[in-house]
Chain A
Amino acid sequence: MSESPGIRTATLDVPRTAPLGRLLAAEVRWVLRRPRTLVMLGLFALIQVLIAIGVAVTDRRAGPGRGLIGAVAGNGLVLPVVAMTVALALLLPLAVAMAAADAIAGEAASGTLRGLLLAPVGRLRLVGMKAFGVLVVAVAAVLALAVVGVLAGLIVVGGAGGQLVTLSGTTLGFGEALGRVAIVAVWTVGQLAAVGAVALAVSAWTEHPLVVLAAVLGGLIVFGVLGAIPALEWLQPYLLTSGWSAGVDALRDPLPLAGMLDATGRALCYVVVGAAATVARMLRRDA
């Protein structure tokens, strides 16, 4: 293959695509340059600071009957774990759904999906590129919660000498406490990957970004309602949301892994289904 300056030449019979690394880098740059992504990450950081301040203020008139948030009082390193668990109920899935909505439906709406297919970015690669972008948003959101949570917890709330008092009453050192935060962060990203895969599939099947947000929000609410009906208890193992409280397990000692592993397995099934639906659609989608 001859190479003239800058422009590669090849025969017409060789399928060509841009280097995968370059595609992924372009996607990440696009995702992180988007104003709403940045606003969202900023809000996540802000929420942490606000919770920390709230806890520090109420702590002065501390009384009995404190809930999960109350467990943060005087025990700053609990903050990131609690925040990730609480945010997983709605805020984080919404952030991921927004990214997924922009990823395919949004690109179709702004007429740029056409450009990607004409370049061409292969249709399978396009799905990979988009999934990577959504995953980056999930990781960034969780990181914002975890990192700002640790900092706000230590600085505003104040830890017990950099230690974490578990729900079981034992005390973990700083290093181990950070480890627990990291475990919850990784686990949370896994759950968000499931949400993202399903949201991306919806995004692939529609031209309207709002449909993706509505589907994810509606889905979460329906799952919540179904999970709360005792007669439908047999449904529990199939509902993605039913394992979402397992993150708090990280605050127990010794660490019970069963709940988190269970939820991770469930998330994996959702990822597979979502990915299959996305690929099936994107292979034939008009743009």
Chain B
Amino acid sequence: MTLAVSRDLGTAAVAARVAGLRKVFGSTVAVGDADGQAGIDLDIPDGAVLGMLGPNGSGKTTLIRMLLGLTQPTAGDVELLGRPMPESAAAVLPYVGALVEGPGFHPFLSGRENLRRVAATEPLLATRAIPAAVDTALERVGLGPAADRRFRGYSLGMKQRLGLASALLLPRRLVVLDEPTNGLDPAGTRDVRGIIAELHAGGATVVVSSHLLTEVEATCTHVAVLQSGSLIAEGELRGLLDADATGLVVTTPDADLAVATLRAADIGAYRDDADEPAVVVPAGDAPEVIALLVRAGVAVQEARRRRPGLEELFARLTEGTP
């Protein structure tokens, strides 16, 4: 494989990349084409916020685990910050923060003590900087008041916050968050969104898997959609949504006349008065539709391309209906 490996951190155009990646557990294909031998190819651009979507069991976590060197791929290559994994784990992982498969901590230690233990293993953290880094991370996830309580007594949301704190102990180049909003209340979800936005603004690459589509739509620049181990869509979120934007929404007070006119010209149309009287034309050539309506005397206030939300796109992709 010929991959351009940049020599220094600042110019890496791709934060993570997998090529031909497959993972088979026994006879179950977790990641990769179920029928053939093909694997997953995915580039995660530097500085992107990639939302990884997919139904339960679609291979999101397995893919993330292989990305981080926690699981050996059956076939294929993984590259993290431009270095091959898992060979370069010791060089690369210090720059990577991760929350994978829920937070793992010791119940008999307090949140702060748990975090100190994690901090002690962080290669890039100087010993004298540990207490401050731990305090900062705890504050950042809003655990300050509960820091000295035992982890045993934490609620699901607090556990999740502590897991986030351990991923954010020091500035990272790449942060991988597997279902970070699991068990969080709406305020916690908003906090996570804020943290992701901060990381993004700071130039870090973020990979976040989630089943909350509105969440992904609000925070991500890129998406990758997995189903049954296969990557069925990937790319910039805007681009994906735009590519899916077929059809036209015409806002008009004469909606009934508009529908009748279009149907008479064999163009499918229906009323959708959700916000204001409007006509949806699922498939139609914009100039032609508008010309028809204007000639028929329909007062066209606005005509715009129909842009489905991520939810609609996701449902269509994973249900396999074109």
Contacts and interface: CB of A to CB of B under 8 A. Distances in A.
Interface of A: 3, 5-19, 22-23, 25-26, 29-30, 33-35, 110-122, 284, 286-287
Which residue, of B89, B92, B108, B123, has the highest number of chain A Cβ atoms within 10 A?
Answer: B123
Interface of B: 8-9, 65, 68-72, 81-83, 88-96, 98, 100-109, 113, 116-118, 120-129, 132-133, 166, 170-171
A35 to B, nearest CB: 6
A11 B9 contact: yes
B9 to A, nearest CB: 6
Contacts, number: 118
A34 B108 contact: yes
B120 A115 contact: no
Given A16-B90, A18-B125, A112 B101 contact: no
B91 A116 contact: no
A12 B104 contact: no
Contacts of A287: 70
A70 B26 CA distance: 60
A10 to B, nearest CB: 8
A118 B9 CA distance: 19
Contact of A6 (B88, B89, B133): B133
Contact of A26 (B65, B120, B129): B120
24 contacts: A6-B126, A6-B128, A10-B124, A14-B91, A15-B88, A15-B90, A16-B91, A16-B123, A18-B123, A19-B127, A25-B120, A26-B117, A30-B117, A35-B108, A110-B105, A110-B107, A114-B100, A119-B94, A119-B118, A119-B121, A119-B123, A120-B89, A120-B123, A122-B90
Contacts of B101: 111, 114
Given A16-B90, A115-B104, A120-B89, A8 B124 contact: yes
Given A3-B126, A26-B116, 17 more contacts: A6-B129, A11-B8, A12-B81, A16-B94, A17-B123, A18-B120, A19-B127, A26-B120, A29-B117, A30-B106, A111-B102, A111-B103, A114-B100, A115-B104, A120-B89, A120-B93, A286-B70
B171 to A, nearest CB: 7
Contacts of B9: 11-12
Contact of B91 (A15, A29, A110, A111): A15
A111 B123 CA distance: 20
A119 B121 CA distance: 6
Contacts of A3: 126
A12 B5 CA distance: 11
B120 A118 contact: no
Contacts of A116: 121
A284 B93 contact: no
A131 to B, nearest CB: 16
Contacts of A23: 120-121
B145 to A, nearest CB: 22
